[in-house]
């Protein structure tokens, strides 16, 4: 029987939403593993909007759920509808939207807050004994929810330092590696925290997804 996986998105675009390459590579890897998936995102306004060509902030508003729909051809639901009981696993992709929309890490550093619907989902999958994967910047959320969790974002000194300061155990990891926390049933990989191209990002994402689908 194929695995049913919930995939959490944070908008559209690396600088203010989900990292598009990571999302596509994750969904491709899930399909290659024979898994089925449903994407979810919060129905909220983005923290801000950036021009991805100039990196300048734009005077406009965008909705995280609507923006996430751009990546997945509309196949995304409000995270308020997510029930851990309906799935075997959860994956959270990266992009600065995790640090800006799903949390306030980009603005408050280690004093950040996590969007209640996101922390609820994280806790629900753990409480149900179901595996979860986090990639790129997303693992920075983990020590806020799971005391002493072991995870990786690669080797970024500042982000790794925040994880450690929050009580997590950061493990340095190459772009093609994964770190598994057996206590919390969580797997992490650096993805575009280290990747310089699609092939490099794919190497670690494929391993994370394969572990999720064991």
Q: Which domains does the chain have, with CATH numbers?
A: 4-212 (3.40.50.880)
Residue 212 is encoded by which pair of tokens? Answer: 């999720």
- pLDDT tens digits along 201-214: 999 999 999 999 99
Nearest to 151 by CA among 167, 168, 130, 136: 168
Whole-structure pTM value: 0.97
| Per-residue confidence (pLDDT) for residue 40, from 0 to 100 | 98
* Mean pLDDT over the full length of the chain: 97
Helices and strands (DSSP H and E) totals, the chain: 8, 11
Long-range CB pairs of 22-28 (<8 Å, 24+ gap) are 22/93, 22/94, 22/95, 22/135, 22/136, 22/191, 22/192, 22/201, 22/205, 23/71, 23/72, 23/93, 24/71, 25/198, 25/201, 25/202, 25/205, 25/206, 26/91, 26/93, 26/135, 26/205, 26/209, 27/72
- pLDDT tens digits along 101-151: 999 999 999 999 999 999 999 999 999 999 999 999 999 999 999 999 999
As a three-state string, the secondary structure of 96-153 is HHHHHCCECHHHHHHHCCECHHHHHHHHHHHHCCCEEEEECCHHHHHHHHCCCCEECC
| DSSP calls for 149-199 | -EE---S-HHHHHHHHHTT-EE----TT--EEETTTTEEEE-GGGT-SSHH
Among candidate residues 136, 151, 173, 213, the one labeled active-site is 136
Residue 39 annotated in active site? no
Instruction: Name the band, by pLDDT with cuts 50, 70 and 90, for residue 55.
Output: confident
- pLDDT tens digits along 68-109: 999 999 999 999 999 999 999 999 999 999 999 999 999 999
**What is the number of other CB atoms lying within 10 angstroms of the CB of residue 109?**
14
């Amino acid at each position: 029987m194929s695995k049913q996986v919930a995939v959490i998105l944070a908008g559209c675009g690396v600088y203010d939403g989900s990292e598009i390459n990571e999302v596509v590579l994750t969904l491709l890897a899930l399909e290659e593993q024979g898994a089925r998936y449903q994407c979810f995102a919060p129905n909220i306004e983005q923290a801000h909007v950036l021009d991805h060509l100039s990196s300048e902030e734009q005077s406009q508003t965008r909705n995280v759920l609507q923006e996430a729909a751009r990546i997945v051809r509309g196949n995304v639901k409000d995270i308020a509808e997510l029930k851990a009981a309906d799935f075997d696993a959860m994956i959270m992709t990266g992009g600065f939207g995790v640090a800006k929309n799903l949390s306030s890490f980009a603005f408050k550093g280690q004093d950040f807050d996590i969007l209640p619907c996101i922390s609820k989902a994280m806790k629900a999958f753990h409480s149900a004994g179901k595996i979860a994967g986090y990639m790129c910047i997303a693992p920075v959320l983990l020590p806020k929810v799971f005391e002493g969790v072991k995870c990786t974002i690669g080797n970024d000194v500042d982000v790794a330092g925040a994880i450690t300061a929050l009580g997590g155990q950061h493990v340095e990891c190459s772009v093609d590696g994964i770190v598994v926390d057996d206590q919390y049933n969580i797997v992490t990989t650096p993805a575009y925290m280290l990747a310089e191209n699609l092939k490099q990002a794919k190497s670690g994402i494929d391993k994370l997804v394969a572990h999720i689908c064991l």
